[in-house]
Amino acid sequence: MLRYMERSTIYYLKQKGWSNVQIAEFTGHHRDTIARALREEVDKKPKTRERTSAVAVFDAQITEWLDQNLSVIRMLELARANPDHPYGGKDTAFYDYVRKIRRVRKQAPRNLALRFEGAPGEFLQIDWGEVRGLEFNKEGMEPQTRYFFAARLKYSRYMYVSFHTDMREETLLRCLIACFTEIDGVPWAVVTDNMKTAVLGRDEQNQPIWNPAYQKLAVEFKFHPDVCAPASGNQKGAVENLVKFVKGNFLAGRTFYDDAELAEQCRAWLRQVNTERPSDATGFPPAVRLAEEQPQFGPLPSIASDYGFFDCVVVSREGLVAIETNRYSVPAHLMGRALTARIHASRIALFADQELVATHARRPAENARVIDPTHFEAAFAGKPRGRVMVYRDWLCSLSPTVMSYVHEISHKRRSEMKQQMIALYDLAQEIGKGDFLVALELAAEQHMYGAEYLRAIVTLPSPSTPHGSAQAASDALMLSGPPQPEVERDLAQYERYVTNRESILQEEPVLQGGRA
């Protein structure tokens, strides 16, 4: 079974125009294997094999035989005739094993630094730069540490740079997508160093272990992820020079008022170096050669404008999943399950297999509990107090005014808190959050604390606005009058106000839609 990097390499070489036979010769696989790999998904999971190769016991002998320039057929004869552990496997397994050893021997480290050029649309190299003690002219702003994402196309030398306050995984992914959007396409391969937001480490075969979110981005945007060898910074080439170029050509000798001016000056500088200044390596402005590259790029996916990066989460005993420093609710029956999270810029989407099970507005990192009470309905049957407290927490999360209003009810009408919380929650679901907030603010201004007052407000008729809206209630309850230009007020307007107010205050509490 082929590993992800082997499959991605096959796709990458095919995109470069290699034939299946050429790819097979290069990778050491049969051409039928190459054809099958191109028909399958690039991220198909390999089956785990626990058995060791029967050829492995001959490693030392194979090395000696290779030094003696023996043919692989003669090696197989000697292995089968070995008196201690004769080889009893298939010929092809032995040949494949020897072929891999030959390839490793041919790929011995070389000290010679080789420079190469990329084909149009082939390589995008990325890296991070760090600037410590960056001074701003804004009063009271201390020297800051800033990081900049740097990307450069190998063929055209087109540059993309953006400044940030961190180098988090999400920042990297969104920078990369912004770069794809800037160049209007996806290059064949993206080369990075061993940054932890992209590469978690190396396996026993020294192959990169990709960060799941970065690998998912590569699969969905259809680019081949490539990585420099450890401790081989020279392999970063053009992008390593770009980091030095930004520090020496852009930052040196410039001053900035704040981050906004830093970003503005960076954009202006990029326009100049990309469109006006010829590249020393090519002799052309990068934008000119970019036009040659763009037809070779892969298409930009439709999800690029609202991409949700990938994460795996586990549902806790409280029915919550932890994302960054916040916790978000999911349906109670998923407790203990592993879910897939897609983290968008403004929302969180949670999936069980392929089914969307929860969506939440994304909160900033503030240790918040983001709850949808409908997720816990299955648990409320045996926990009536739990229903009340979850409803109350949900209400308090709407706004500081609602929190203050709920606290007043919890204090002044403690014995009725259960009925009040259920009635307030049901009313909010019935009329919508917008009208609910308007009605509640109006009731709070009048120091009327209770769900019955809010329901009375939203049901008061008004001649100028639709029945049942919060604005209609506001017009009916508050002191009303003729149009603003009129100075004299009709006594009937005051009588109408008094009548309406008294009718509200005399009503019995109405707790419609409540549940025990």
Residue 117 falls within a domain, yes or no? no
Residue listed under structure tokens 């094999």: 49
Mean pLDDT (10-residue bins), the chain, 516 residues: 86 91 92 91 74 84 89 92 90 92 72 60 92 91 93 93 94 96 95 90 87 94 88 56 89 91 95 91 91 94 92 91 92 91 94 92 84 85 82 89 92 89 91 90 90 87 51 48 40 46 48 41
**CA pair distance 288, 275, nearest whole angstrom:** 7
3-state helix, strand, coil in the chain (%, to 5): 45, 15, 35
Residues 461 and 363 in one domain: no
Residues 277 and 143 in one domain: yes
Residue 115 falls within a domain, yes or no? no
Which is nearest to 404 in space by CA: 449, 369, 372? 449
- Single pTM value for the model: 0.64
Residues 232 and 351 in one domain: no
Helices 286-293 and 259-275 pack at an angle, to 10 degrees, of 80
Residue 440 falls within a domain, yes or no? yes
Helices 31-39 and 4-15 pack at an angle, to 10 degrees, of 90
Residue type (1 letter), 72: V
**CA pair distance 453, 420, nearest whole angstrom:** 11
Terminal Cα-to-Cα distance of the chain (whole angstroms): 59
CA dihedral 363, 366, 368, 372 (to 10 degrees): 0
Residues 408 and 342 in one domain: no
- In this prediction, residue 486 carries a pLDDT of 43
- In this prediction, residue 365 carries a pLDDT of 72
Q: Could you tell me if 311 and 341 are in contact, meaning their C-beta atoms sit under 8 angstroms apart? A: yes
Range of the structural domain that residue 82 is part of: 4-106
Helix (H) or strand (E) holding 351: strand 347-352
- In this prediction, residue 43 carries a pLDDT of 84
- In this prediction, residue 205 carries a pLDDT of 84
Residues 203 and 271 in one domain: yes
Residues 216 and 283 in one domain: yes
DSSP 298: B
- In this prediction, residue 67 carries a pLDDT of 87
Tally of structural domains, the chain: 4
Residues 198 and 56 in one domain: no
**CA pair distance 388, 381, nearest whole angstrom:** 12
Final residue of a structural domain among 303, 332, 356 = 303
- In this prediction, residue 172 carries a pLDDT of 95
Which is nearest to 248 in space by CA: 125, 163, 115, 129? 129
